[in-house]
Amino acid sequence: MQTQHDKPVSERFFHAVLYELCAMILLVPLASLVMDTGLGHMGVLALMMSSVAMLFNMLFNALFERAERRWGLTRTVWVRSAHALLFEGGLVVMLVPLAAWWLAVSLWQAFLLDLGFFAFFLPYTYVFNLAYDRIRLRVMQRRHTARLRAEGVAGE
């Protein structure tokens, strides 16, 4: 049976797209309201930021899972918290300049906006990945059980 570390590229892509889609549905209307910016303008920024974040998500998760295997880590609260902090920290470095440029604000203002995003994404990242891993485990267990049943029936 596959483990949480044995994810094909197609699943990594699905995970990243689902993560970003759920976040955008929750965050774009709120950010548009807070920034007093049109929903479309904020939506385009969200798509740009999401594209950067999605690519970073796939790369970061692959590297993080490699580190988990190498160091024999399990996904405890501390490991999940480190994952979320490192991921969001990397995004700050990449996304603040993009937001400053798109919204025509200073880097400081974009950083403050990003702190608001961070306040949203830190718990969101933790909860989303916890839920995803639990649902994935159930799906993988069901597939494994179905495969065993099929082999048992086929072997009779």
| Domain extents in the chain | 9-155
Question: Which candidate, 5, 2, 1, places its Cα nearest to that of 73?
Answer: 5
CB under 8 Å, gap of 24 or more: what pairs does 141-150 form?
141/1, 144/1
- pLDDT at res. 150: 87
Query: Per the structure block, which two tokens stand in for 127?
Result: 């909860």
Say what the pLDDT of residue 154 is.
Answer: 55
Buried b or exposed e, range 101-121, using 16+ CB within 10 angstroms? ebbeeeeeebbebbeebbebb
Q: Convert the pLDDT of each residue in 130-146 to its tens digit.
A: 999 999 999 999 989 99
Question: pLDDT for 46-69, tens place per residue?
Answer: 899 988 988 898 899 999 999 999
pLDDT band of residue 5 (cuts 50, 70, 90) is low
Q: What is the pTM for the complete model shown?
A: 0.64
